[in-house]
Amino acid sequence: MSNVLLTGAGGFIGSHLAEQLVARGHTVRAFVRYNGRGDTGHIRDLASEVRAQIEVIYGDLRDSHAVFEAARGVDTIYHLGALIAIPYSYVHPRETIETNVIGTLNILEAAREHQIRRVVHTSTSEVYGTARFVPITEEHPLQGQSPYSASKIAADKIVESFFLSFNLPVVTVRPFNTYGPRQSARAVIPATIVQALTQSVVRLGDQRPTRDLNFVTDTARGFLLAAESEQALGQTINLANQAEISIGDLVAKIIHLVGRPVSIETDHTRLRPAASEVFRLYGDHQRARALLGWEPQISLDQGLRRTIDWIAQHLDQYDPTRYQV
């Protein structure tokens, strides 16, 4: 059991990781971006007995002092905090870069000063850009096809430099597309589910790209294993399902599972700039299997059913008429 700092704890994946950490007996300090409402994000959706065991600290990753103080007295840092919305990064690239790059630097410097046992850093499959070969291994070239992906490439390389320069005990976890309960409608799966449950038309962007999908509990379990494996030190590790599905086929599957007759329309406001679209993501998880003993446990159909059920019970958290960037 350990004392852990979890950045991005109020987010989609972060809240599921917080839940799993508490279940395993860890003492969890959640770093949440300050807001005047005292909103803890998806921590509010956790069971009351889980929430009671999470210490919430408000701050901004760009504030080095706030990060330094949050890291005091912990032995493991799970760094999930980031601005992750790709459309938002087109509108506000500077904020995205400052949060994701400077924020990561602040985490690393705090970890170095406090002699943290392990830092688990979050990357993204978006750093690969459109696949040049499949399945995508960790040696695949990196390409910044959006300001968001460029910011994560920079953050990943800074993490690598702290391992090689200062022997900081870090692991970079690179999830492919994660989905499940609590995900915001900025992502295609919840956006589709919400519209299919409530509207006669599902409005989408490009349906041609393929994605490699993991259910959120599988992704969170990969983070836990990365914090425990000595073999993983200094490594970058894909968390991929090692399968791909086109957005069009995925949407058709969701509509079938929802069981309502709806039509599909292309919404041009949801399209990425042409050269920025990542057309194929299909990852290799052999390193995760070898170093972590990790592979997905939840099938796509199982995961989609669980996600549909959760969203159907929480429709008040979504606006089906609005495109969420």
State mean pLDDT over 150-158.
98
- 297: tokens are 């446990």
Say whether pLDDT at 1 is over 80. no
Closest by alpha carbon to 222, among 124, 152, 288? 288
Predicted TM-score (pTM) of this structure: 0.96
pLDDT, tens digit, 9 for 90 and up, residues 25-73: 999 999 999 888 889 999 999 999 999 999 999 999 999 999 999 999 9
d(C-alpha 158, C-alpha 126), whole Å: 17
For 32-55, give the DSSP string. EE--TT---GGGGGS-HHHHTTEE
Look at residue 36 in the predicted model and tell me its pLDDT.
84
* Residue 304 pLDDT grade (very low, low, confident, very high; cuts 50, 70, 90): very high
Burial label, 37 (beta-carbon count in 10 A; 0-12, 13-18, 19+): exposed
What does the radius of gyration of the chain's CA atoms come to, in whole angstroms? 19
Please report the domains of the chain, with CATH numbers, ordered by start residue. Answer: 3-179+214-239 (3.40.50.720)
Is 127's pLDDT higher than 80? yes
